[in-house]
């Protein structure tokens, strides 16, 4: 099986590479690339994202043909893709970080700044927080509800269709921290920084 981590210069993704390498245990051919042909012929894709929504979208658009190739992979061919942090947020129609920016429009919704209740909650939301699993999800197989995951973000994805929400976390409000829609999976938390439970999320994705 070929799994591709899309490296489109969206920040340091070494921890993503390391954790996927550890979970794969040599049984998966792991590529880190923006090569369009390699992405097309992958079995699964991982779309990480660090920094702002706008900067990540701009970086994707700078790689010729990448956005169209990802759309074909996900929407036409319906192959599994996991978006991490801003990688999940980019599924949305629009984001409002830095400036209003069009997303990939894979799952209808928007990305807005977390309401910190006039400074009552610090932003960014950094550290370990409990997740509340909302529905049976393939990537949460054998993971207990109320497990703790690691977060670093100031913006949240608000999908129009609430049935795609697979987990939430409580920080100022009930924030969407994982989605699942058919072959699309996304986590706002960082599984690669979430110790053994995060590795289990990665392992579940690899075993889909």
What integer best gives the mean pLDDT of the chain?
A: 96
Number of domains in the chain: 1
* pLDDT range class, residue 10, cuts 50, 70, 90: confident
Assign residue 9 a region (left: φ > 0; alpha: ψ between -120 and 50; beta: otherwise).
left
Catalytic annotation present for 180: no
Per DSSP, 10 falls in state: -
Q: What is the pLDDT of residues 73-89, one digit of tens each?
A: 999 999 999 999 999 99
Q: How many CB atoms lie within 10 A of CB 197?
A: 18
Q: Which residue has the tokens 């392992």?
A: 203
Average pLDDT on 15-24 reads 96
Domain with residue 74: its CATH number is: 3.40.50.880
Phi and psi at 140, nearest 5°, equal -105, 15
Catalytic site residue 177? no
- Which entry of 97, 156, 180, 192 is annotated as an active-site residue? 192
Instruction: Give the model's pLDDT for residue 9.
Output: 86
CB atoms < 10 A from the CB of 132, how many? Answer: 13
**What per-residue confidence (pLDDT) applies to 170?**
97
Mean pLDDT throughout 182-186? 98
- What pLDDT score does 203 carry? 98
Q: How far is CA 193 from CA 19, 61, 163, in A?
A: 8, 27, 27
Q: Cα(31)–Cα(45) distance, rounded to whole angstroms?
A: 10
85 given a catalytic annotation: yes
pLDDT at 54: 97
Domain containing residue 182:
2-206
Give the tens place of pLDDT for each residue, 185-207. Answer: 999 999 999 999 999 999 999 99
Residue (of 2, 56, 53, 51) closest to 29 by Cα position: 2
Q: What is the pLDDT of residues 99-123, one digit of tens each?
A: 999 999 999 999 999 999 988 999 9
Kindly state the percentage of the chain with pLDDT values over 90: 95
**Catalytic entry in 85, 125, 177, 180:** 85
pTM of the model: 0.97
Determine the pLDDT at residue 131.
98
């Amino acid at each position: 099986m070929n799994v591709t981590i899309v490296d489109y210069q969206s920040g340091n993704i070494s921890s993503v590479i390391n954790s996927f390498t550890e979970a794969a245990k040599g049984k998966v051919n792991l590529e880190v690339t923006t090569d369009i042909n390699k992405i097309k012929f992958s079995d699964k894709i991982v779309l990480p994202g660090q920094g702002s929504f706008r900067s990540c979208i701009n970086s994707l658009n700078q790689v010729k043909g990448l956005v169209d190739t990802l759309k074909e992979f996900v929407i036409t061919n319906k192959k599994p893709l996991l978006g991490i942090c801003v990688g999940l947020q980019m599924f949305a129609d629009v984001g409002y970080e830095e400036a209003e920016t069009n997303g990939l429009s894979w799952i209808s919704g928007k990305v807005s700044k977390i309401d910190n209740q006039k400074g009552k909650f610090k932003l960014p939301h950094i550290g370990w927080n409990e997740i509340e699993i909302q529905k049976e999800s393939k990537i949460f197989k054998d993971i207990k509800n109320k497990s703790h995951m690691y977060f670093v973000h100031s913006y949240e994805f608000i999908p129009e269709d609430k049935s795609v929400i697979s987990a939430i976390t409580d920080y100022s409000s009930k924030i969407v921290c994982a989605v699942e829609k058919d072959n699309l999976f996304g986590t706002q938390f960082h599984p690669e920084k979430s110790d053994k439970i995060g590795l289990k999320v990665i392992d579940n994705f690899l075993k889909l």
